[in-house]
Structure 1
Amino acid sequence: MRLLIADDDDYTREGLKESIDWEQYGIHDVLLAGDGAEALRMCTVHRPNIVLTDIRMPKLNGIEFAEKLSLKSPGSILIFMSGYMDVEYLRSAIKLSAVEYIEKPIKLADVEQAILKSVRALEEKQAQSSVYKQKNELVRQKLAGLLCDEHADSEELLRLCQETGFPPYKRYISFIVKAPSSDLTSIIGDWRGYGIEAIGEQLDRKLCFIIVACQNDEYKQLYSIIDRWLSKNGACTVAIGEEANGMNAIPDSFRTARRALDRSFYEPDVRCLRSNTVEDTGGNDWYNGALPAFYKLSKDNPEGLSEWLAELFASMRRKRYPAKDKAVALLDTMAHSLLGDNRKLVETLANEHGFAEAGHYLKKCETLDNAELFMHAVLSVWMEEKRQSSGYSRLVQEVMSYVAANYRSIDLDLTMIAGHMHLSTSYLGKLFKEETGTSIKQYISDYRIDLAKKLVENEQYKMHTIAELCGFASASYFVKVFKAATDLSPMQYRKKS
């Protein structure tokens, strides 16, 4: 806090400054003025929190100075000092809301008590102001959210505009700011710093929706400000919606800002995005035919899927179509058809390719490049398993698929599989052994051990977790089987890896 002492007596001014430990009251800057005019000039520039002023001063007496001070620095708190106990002066001081009136000759204890009272009054005022600002900001966020809703009540919007001071009869433009970790308060503060009236709503951890109100001649300036802001915030992207001529058009502006943001899926390096007002429907036939073509290839010519998938992504880049949600839904359907319920493939994706939570990856994917990497990884693990099972009869392949889907069940055995396939255990066991050279029991064990090896290499998995994930009845049994298969305990295998 800052304090000004105004007194024409040098001894009083200097004495007060040197005699009081101002920092204990949170005051770190003490200014001095020798007359009322000088005091007013200093208050205009420095805006002190507390003013300790004599009433009788040359050029401008304390009462005149105080009256002008209320215009120049309205937030300053006054403390009067005077040796003249004049009734009229006292009445004037009371009208000017002086916190305290100190009689001369001055006693330091009186001054300190008056300073303490002023500091507490300031703190209370600041606390009230902070609460008001927080409440006002929450109301402004509510208003921003309602302005996106085409069904919002117009009277409620006008009431909130009046309550928050946001202009209700202007032209508007909305945009979405995308950042690694967006901070609505900071972003709104930046725009208000440019002299632009702005409100907003936090959409999620990375996205903020901003609405700005402007005059007709301010649009060009607004776009240049966006460019300037982006140059200072290198990790951010801004998606701009259509201009809205009135509050009832803001929902459309918000939708087009969303559409513009979706373009970052195809153009991740473009930091200022605008929505195309005309929908691209030229690729509908291509889009509608993509999924049937994928299913046909995966059945009739799996080896051709990799090349087909590369051309699919190349085509999506050329067309920048379909919209992000359609693209993700299409790719997600393809990935699900390859992965199915095969937990081994999902675990392989996580451990060998780094794609954890494969079932949700595409929905969280932010760029087409990342989606392509994921889809090729899915295809790779699917093809590898297909190659391993190729050359076998349909029944043997069905056994392998059943094991891949149910290996986590501790009850998985020949009897369970034969029951599922409605075959006798002796016939199925013999057929499997003849074609693969191993028993179904051994195949299940090898399948679990192969998966367990990958999980053991990852230090984040505890042994009891691996045992559960791989279908072993207990951690101790898992360790026993693992050592029998590898000649190493799981911990020894992890250290060796």
Structure 2
Amino acid sequence: MGDLKIKVLLVDDEPIELDLLEHSINWEELGISQIRRASNGKRALQMIREEMPDIVITDIRMPVMDGLALARHIMAEEMPVKLIFLTGYDDFSYIQVAFRVEAVDYVLKPVIPVKIRSVLRQTIERIQREKGLRTSIEVSKYLILEQLILGETSEELYKAFEGDTNRYFLILVFGKWEKQVYKKIPTEIAGVSYGIFSPAACAFLLERNFDLQLTVCEIMEILSGRGEWAAVCYTEAKNVKELHRAYEACSSYADRIFMLEPGTILSVDRIDTAPKEDLSAAVLQPTTDRLTAIIPEGNAEVTVQAAEELFVSIKSRLRRKTQVTGCLKEVLRQLEEYFVHGNLGIKPFLTCSMEYTAEEIENSAFISCAQKSFQSYLMQIHSYYQMQGQGKKSWVVRQVREYVEMNYKNGLDLERLGQQLYLSENYIRTIFKEQTGSTILEYITNYRFSKAEQLLKNKTLKIGTVSRMVGYENVSYFTSLFTKRYGISPREYQNRF
């Protein structure tokens, strides 16, 4: 298929489907150089942001985040990805939505290899037309500079910078990076050049005649609202041949940065030689034993306190990130084995699995992020036992009703409610319908219109005001729903009083 190397991401919540898809196609024959896999849309979105594949082949129906929601994120972030949908639903409405989110094609399940190969060939040809085939590999100065920063040395590499007298500050920014954000920094901040991209920490070069501290603050300002970040700056400007020393020094502070708070900016001029104290799972065993004893009691305050004490103990010393994340994953494994393994009743409560939580902890840039993921999984288990004591189904209904009463004036987000309760959206919907006989959407609508009836009795209120007060920004839509529901318009209803 030419010299253009294509990267593909396969997304499906069924491992068997992923295996069949991966092994039924000769990818190399199509010019596809990399195949990656994801089990849901949320994980796929993270991988797309980090690795930017050319083609994403995704199922439509998946837990956590479905294929259509994934596609909408890709569109919103303007990522140059070609989407191919897989669906077991021969339903025209799904196909219509697929093309509204700019899918290039769709394939019905069960997937026939010859069909998917045909769709892939057409998609690759489209990519080739858009990008143009490269007949020779051009190595830019930026790529050579990256090799030098990483420590590769050769006269051939140095020749590209022969006569270059520029000196640079090196800035290493820790956090969860996406390539499009990484590329944004040099275009928006004067004096900043590309350095090295990685999903965990990106390096930037700053020309010597610019203010180092001011520039770091500008970078952090651009990144605000996009996650949590910290930076290490080498305070001495270096020439091209010396940049590896600065990069090596900044990188040595990775463990220290992990243990510090997001927003930290360190200025350094040497490698970090501070001793790190060892941490083993055995040190955390008393806390693990305590959690297994107190969680079934259903006391949220005691459970949270035990988890916080665990992290206070970890944070009391400077430690290696790999040891911290490794020990936390071992605690998770023990809790999963104790509470979840073989317990069919608890599984519907888990909005994310132990494996997914362990992966989040592994990829955490800071210990505070690891703590958040750890406690989130812990509270899922706690919620299960709390509901056992209160009557789990009535508890869910009560929580939904309280949430609607508190938020009916604003946008109601069932995903957010699920996060608050540590329950899956589908579980909440199912229990509510089972217990009340109506869907959550029906309950929300009934509640809003009961409030609208009360408000319309006040003739001083305008219809548009009432509409917004009960959560409908579009007055025409509110009027239409009201008229259909009551047989008269809101104005006619108001005039009765």
The question of a shared fold, defined as TM-score above 0.5 by the shorter chain, is answered with no
Q: Pick 1 or 2: higher relative contact order, CA cutoff 8 A, min separation 6.
A: 2
Output the TM-score relative to the length of structure 2.
0.40
Output the TM-score relative to the length of structure 1.
0.40
Q: Which has the higher helix share?
A: 1
